[in-house]
Amino acid sequence: MNAKKGFFLSRWDKPAKAAFFSAVIPGGGQIYNKSYWKLPIVYGTAAVLGYYWIDNNNKYQDFREAVVQRATKTDKYVDSPIYGVSNTRGTQNLRYSRDFYRRNRDLTILLSIGAYGLQIAEAYVHAHMKQFDVGDNLSLRLQPDLMRVPHTNSFTPGVTLTLYTTTNTK
């Protein structure tokens, strides 16, 4: 077995390192790519999602406790016009609010996981795109085309975009 010795990150390419740094510390890949202007977006998204998670969780816990206490009529919403015992749908409204905030809390968790994955993917793609040539000799050709429709013998009109570099003959 002829394994290379050394620090494991030294064998990785730049996109892999950017994704790794973003996975370890959110925004780390953006720092590695020297895209500092993206950090407020990453941390602003985390702050907003964190705020909504805390708010929805607190309200969910509050309504959950009220539903449990409703049997003894000692909850803090007993005299409320919407949730109170004088309202025929008071207990049902308590349960609806509890479920509403639980759904919002769970959705916020899913959005947070998505935002975390998105910032990792952004760092990875940005590191790849840094090597992309965007010089003056880059051109885009747009031309009509006929495209075959899968699983049929028919064709449909479409457009083909071709990105290529032109050579200067001067």
pLDDT in tens, 135-153: 778 888 899 999 888 888 8
pLDDT (0 to 100) of residue 131: 78
Both tokens of 22, joined, read: 């973003």
Three-class DSSP category at 168: coil
Angle at 166 between CA 164 and CA 168, to 5 degrees: 165
pLDDT band (50, 70, 90) for residue 25: very high
Query: Residue range 28-51: average pLDDT?
Result: 96
Q: Name the burial class of residue 170, with classes exposed (0-12), middle (13-18) and buried (19+) by CB atoms within 10 angstroms of its CB.
A: exposed
Judged against a pLDDT cut of 80, whether residue 82 lies above it is answered with yes
- Mind spelling out the 3-state secondary structure of 148-165? ECCCCCCEEEEEEEEEEE
Residue 146 to residue 150: CA distance in whole angstroms: 13
Judged against a pLDDT cut of 60, whether residue 103 lies above it is answered with yes
- How large a percentage of the chain has pLDDT more than 70? 92
Residue 100 to residue 129: CA distance in whole angstroms: 42
Q: Round the average pLDDT of the chain to a whole number and report it.
A: 88
Judged against a pLDDT cut of 80, whether residue 26 lies above it is answered with yes
- How large a percentage of the chain has pLDDT more than 90? 59
Residue 64 to residue 70: CA distance in whole angstroms: 10
Three-class DSSP category at 83: coil
The dihedrals phi and psi of 123, each to the nearest 5 degrees, come to -65, -40
Cβ partners under 8 Å of residue 82, min gap 6: 90, 93
CA 32 to mean position of chain CA atoms: 20
Question: What single-letter DSSP state applies at residue 166?
Answer: -
pLDDT band (50, 70, 90) for residue 1: very low
